[in-house]
Chain A
Amino acid sequence: MSVLEIVSTGLLAAGCFFYLAGTIGLLRFPDVHSRLHALTKADNVGLFLVCLALTLLGESLRVALLLLLIWLLGLLAATVSCHLIARHSIRRKGGRSG
């Protein structure tokens, strides 16, 4: 394997580690808000590392930019989802969330 592939594999492994961390948080944390926290943060970093690993393997600039766009979109989706779900949880329990 070339140096590029070794670095890429390392990044891939790191990304998988972060996904694992997110899932552990999802299963082990005590309530919705902490689970949201674990999931969004860890999965976003995991996706970033995976995208980075694949950018190194990709053939062209177009692929790199597309991967960047996909990661940003994932970031956006995760951010909004997290906020809306947390808000929904608070409202459903009768609190005020501003």
Chain B
Amino acid sequence: MNTALSLAVIFLIINLAAGLVRVARGPSPEDRMLAALLFGSTTVAVLLILAQLMEIPALRDVALLFGLLAAIISVAFVALPADHDRDEEDSWR
């Protein structure tokens, strides 16, 4: 069982790294904000699996914290100036 859990963790981390490509490339700032979405969900899953694998129940509390923070960070992301003058995809790179 532990092997299966470890493999799942490795898979999810690689998943995370692949998602990072989207953050790095953009092109728009919203694409980068998507990363917050992806990372929030994936890290919560990784923490929950680690809680079972390493037998540290406190990691579930950490996952709870992550969930709360994901909601707050996403609101922080979109409280950004929305410029209506021109399409600015290039300058946000």
**A interface residues, Cβ below 8 angstroms from B:** 1, 5, 8-9, 12-13, 15-16, 19-20, 22-23, 26-27, 32, 35-36, 39-40, 43-44, 46-47, 50-51, 54, 57-58, 63, 66-67, 69-70, 73-74, 76-78, 80-82, 84-89, 91-94
Contact = CB atoms under 8 A, between A and B. Distances in A.
Interface string B51-93: 1100001001001100110110011011010111001100000
B78 to A, nearest CB: 4
Per DSSP, are chain A's interface residues mostly helix, strand or loop, or mixed? helix
B87 A93 contact: yes
A60 to B, nearest CB: 10
Contacts of B83: 92
Per DSSP, are chain B's interface residues mostly helix, strand or loop, or mixed? helix
Interface string B28-39: 111101101110
Interface of B: 1, 4-5, 8, 11-12, 15, 18-19, 21-22, 28-31, 33-34, 36-38, 40-42, 44-45, 48-49, 51-52, 57, 60, 63-64, 67-68, 70-71, 74-75, 77-78, 80, 82-84, 87-88
A72 to B, nearest CB: 9
A12 B7 CA distance: 10
Contacts of A84: 74-75, 77-78
